[in-house]
Amino acid sequence: MIRFLALAILHFQTVQAWSPARARIGEQLTRSNFIYSTASAFFFSEMVVNGHPDECEAKENPRYIEREVQMKYGDDKNGNPRTRGVLVKKFTGDNTGFLFPTPSPVRLVKEWPDEIPFTSKDFFRADEGDDENFYTLPRLVYHIDEPAVASLTQYYRNNISKGSKILDICSSWVSHYPLEFKDNMKRISGTGMNPLELVANDQLTDYEAKNLNVDTKLPYEDSEFDVVTCVVSIDYLIKPIEVLREVNRVLKPGGQVIISQSNRCFPSKAIQMWLNMNDRQHLELINGYLKYAGFDPAAVRAFDITAKVPGQSYNDPMFIVTAVKK
């Protein structure tokens, strides 16, 4: 019963939407904002892809890891500090029984013009309210299903070299990296909207809470990282080209950006043109973003890495778009 209540509390904490009042990242919630945001997001929180060779799974790893995360609220001079333990269940991406086919290349055919063709209407969102209010409450849940998570984990294992310095932008309480990355990588940094989620991410060596829709500047030096990842979040950025220019800046020459994308989202926060496109068109759009951010269009690659689940007709798709810094 105690565990059931903990999981129920966790689920309740994940449902939240916009609020008319502004709050800084991590600022204490008022009771009215809490009720307003959680009730509104009930209609959106359940909305929000995958695939790699089965033999690449680490069979010695458990399939799930359960642990308690301590969440501290109201920890400022005007707040009422309190701590709550939340039980979370983490997918490791291993020992799943899923099948991970070799990534299937997706041919990118759209020719983007030299001048950026987008208008402000393309980046309109149904909810233009403050993103920091929308993400004030930590959502310690997954926005893609387990096969999608597992396929992304296996892709990372196969395509990120040991000893790399990695940056995860738009990060959260999980980054979907293989368990061994924490020990095998030189550094794993993260930026994301919610500091309570970032502090719960046990794979990060350092993090900084940051709203990239307000300030696109990444808090890192030039040529600092070997790899930058972005998981199912590019559709929420209202200045994606500026953000990817920053990604280009912080990558070392020859470094790669890995953008993963599904077919799920919070529709109130996804940009308008994304909602009007299908999965194939999303990949073409990301390719356009990368071109205008300074990446070499000839070096951009897209893949379908969706996992196969025996006995199951559908699971979330997962797509990858990669680019290399010149």
User: Per residue of the chain (326 residues), what is the pLDDT tens digit?
Assistant: 444 444 444 443 333 333 223 233 333 344 334 333 444 433 333 333 333 344 467 778 999 999 888 777 666 667 677 777 888 899 999 999 999 999 999 999 999 999 999 999 999 999 999 998 898 888 888 999 999 999 999 999 999 999 999 999 999 999 999 999 999 999 999 999 999 999 999 999 999 999 999 999 999 999 999 999 999 999 999 999 999 999 999 999 999 999 999 999 999 999 999 999 999 999 999 999 999 999 999 999 999 999 999 999 899 999 999 999 98
Rounded Cα distance, 158 and 153, in Å = 9
Backbone angles phi, psi at 91, to 5 degrees: -80, 130
The predicted structure's pLDDT at residue 86: 83
The predicted structure's pLDDT at residue 45: 37
The predicted structure's pLDDT at residue 273: 97
- The encoded tokens of residue 210 equal 């940051």
The predicted structure's pLDDT at residue 4: 41
For tokens 């991410």, what's the residue?
Answer: 201
Rounded Cα distance, 13 and 34, in Å = 10
The predicted structure's pLDDT at residue 74: 65
Altogether, the residues listed in the chain come to a count of 326
pTM: 0.81
| Dihedral angle, C-alpha 96, 98, 104, 110, nearest 10 ° | -80
Rounded Cα distance, 176 and 156, in Å = 8
- The encoded tokens of residue 51 equal 């695939």
Beta partners for 259? Answer: 230, 321
The predicted structure's pLDDT at residue 5: 41
- Say how many C-beta atoms besides its own lie within 10 A of residue 275's C-beta: 14
